[in-house]
Amino acid sequence: MRGRTGHHLGVALGLIVGSGVVLAGCSAPSSGSAESGTTLTVFAAASLGDSFEELADGFEQENPGVEVEYNIAGSSSLAEQILAGAPADVFASADEPNMHTVVAAGENSGEPEPFATNVLTLVTPADIPADTPANTPGITSLEDATAEGVKLVVCAPQVPCGRAALALAEDAGVELSPVSEEASVTDVLGKVTSGEADAGLVYVTDALGAGESVNAIELENADSAVNTYPITVLAAAAENGSEHPELAQRFVDYVLSEEGQSVLEADGFGAP
């Protein structure tokens, strides 16, 4: 990840659950004062990892004494953890269905706000040119990736990128026969960059972040499966979490601000 190292809580919080419209021209909100040593816990979808690490740097600079801790994982896993009582202040999901799950359970404090969009792209390992993959037909389209003998990896159906992959395949009139279904988009990317898969469906932001380690193949019908990312303050921020709901809202406002949106745009996210 570029920028900030970050503080990840995924392993510890996994034990808790016992199982495996932005205003144009708005500027970053004023920081106000914050109690020294305050920790803000943010649950963020896997595809937001790099961007939110950078956002944390900016937010901490504007709010001296605050430390942002992240739990970066698949949105469905994060929703399960929240419903199981894991303390968190903010939830940023990679899709609306998982956010709806949290809202339906009364775990939010305020209305979720859309802050970004994302679409899928096809990636292949960089050491195998996209037009001549070893031992497979040339992979230059989704149809090629679904051909017999091609090791395709996608996200599991309950994960936002998995739902998007199914919608994309349906729109293209092809059937996905993946060799594995992963719990997060970063896991799919890892299978491709390690050479374990011939191709994978990931977000354009992940492909951009992977740089020269993958070949990215733009999909003609990518816009048929657009994921909208919502963010909200959680009820735990005022109940059993860090008890800093105002600070949590300040973080949400920062993500929605012109400064926050510029970070997301630079990383390939679309506007909400």
- The answer to whether 24 touches 55, Cβ cutoff 8 Å, is no
Q: How far apart are CA 2 and CA 208, in angstroms?
A: 12
Beta strands in 112-251 (DSSP E): 113-118, 120-125, 152-155, 180-182, 199-203, 214-217, 227-233
Q: From 47, 215, 183, 187, select the one nearest 119 (Cα to Cα).
A: 47
What would the pLDDT profile of 12-71 be if each residue is shown by its tens digit? 344 334 443 333 334 444 444 445 678 999 999 999 999 999 999 999 999 999 999 999
Q: Is 175 helix (H, G, I), strand (E, B) or coil?
A: coil
What would the pLDDT profile of 93-128 be if each residue is shown by its tens digit? 999 999 999 999 999 998 999 999 999 999 999 876
pLDDT greater than 50 at residue 242 = no
Question: Hey, what domains does the chain have and what are their CATH numbers?
Answer: 10-117+229-266 (3.40.190.10), 120-224 (3.40.190.10)
Looking only at the bridges linking them, the beta strands covering 199-203 and 120-125 are antiparallel
- The answer to whether 247 touches 38, Cβ cutoff 8 Å, is yes
Q: How far apart are CA 267 and CA 244, in angstroms?
A: 29
Residue with token string 């392993």: 11
- pLDDT score of 26: 42
